[in-house]
Amino acid sequence: MLTKGRRVAGRGEDMSAHYAFGPHEDDAIIKHRLLTRITTTRGEPPLKKLQKKFMSFATEVEKDADNTSDCERLYKAFLQEINTFELPLLKSKAVVDANLREKESFNELQVEIQRQILQAQTDIEDLKKQLEQSKIERQHKEECEAIRKLISSQPPRSETEKLIANLEKEIANLEAESAACTRTLELRKKQFALLLHVVSRSGTVAP
């Protein structure tokens, strides 16, 4: 018994030459098969079988012979074939409807995700502004705390006022002493001038 060998593409070899149809043609063929229920499985395609059942029933009906039982038998076979053909269609329709609902849900989810992304971006910008404002407020608080510590390190106001009063009193005493010294100095100047005048006159009278 002879066995035909099948050529296997090696690594890196172009596989496109082994396909009978291109990608676009494949899509058209798959769509046509789904619509007509033509498959490559064993046995006749469902649509062809349905067509044969209908033709057999129609041919039998057109006969003039007394074939009521045959017509009824072929009619039932045709109905059974219709049911057999319709069931996958209903399943396919259910799958299509489910896919459409899933697609709609996906679109709604995508819109919701996009809305959440925009909201998150807005929240991030708001948080950035709040962070900058918090930094400014914290800086102000630190400056106020530094001023408070500086004020706290100074003596109480009562002590400062007392110290000022003592200094003012001391200044007044110094001013009084300065005035007294000035008067004493003026008096000494006058006395010295008088002394010089007396001495000068005494020297003139003596000869």
Instruction: Concatenate the DSSP letters of all residues of 107-166 into one string.
Output: HHHHHHHHHHHHHHHHHHHHHHHHHHHHHHHHHHHHHHHHHHHHHHHSPPHHHHHHHHHH
Q: Is the pLDDT of residue 115 over 50?
A: yes
Measure the CA–CA gap between 83 and 101, rounded to whole angstroms.
26
Q: Quick check: 14 pLDDT over 60? A: no
Entry pTM: 0.39
DSSP conformational letter for 16: G
Look up residue 180 and give its amino acid.
A
- List pLDDT tens digits, range 37-92: 555 455 667 777 778 878 887 887 787 777 788 788 888 888 888 888 778 788 88
- Say how far apart CA 193 and CA 204 lie, in whole Å: 17
Residue 125: pLDDT band (50, 70, 90) is very high
Contact call for residues 47 and 36 (beta carbons, < 8 A):
yes
Q: How many CB atoms lie within 10 A of CB 60?
A: 17
What digits encode the pLDDT tens for the residues 93-107? 888 899 999 999 999
Location of structure tokens 């918090």: 134
Query: For 17, which DSSP code?
Result: G
User: Which residue type does 196 have?
Assistant: L
pLDDT at 34 over 70: no
Query: Which tokens in the block code for residue 203?
Result: 């020297």
Residue with the larger pLDDT of the pair 198 and 176: 176
Please answer whether residues 37 and 82 qualify as being in contact, where contact means their C-beta atoms are separated by less than 8 angstroms.
no
pLDDT tens across 141-187, in order?
999 999 988 888 877 778 888 888 889 989 999 998 898 899 898 88
User: 13 or 188: which carries more pLDDT confidence?
Assistant: 188
* Rounded alpha-carbon distances, angstroms, from residue 168 to 68, 103, 148, 176, 181: 143, 93, 29, 12, 20
The residues spanned by each domain of the chain are: 21-111, 156-193
On the question of pLDDT at 124 being above 60, the answer is: yes
Question: Which has the closest alpha carbon to 37: 100, 88, 72?
Answer: 88
| Residue found under tokens 């948080």 | 127
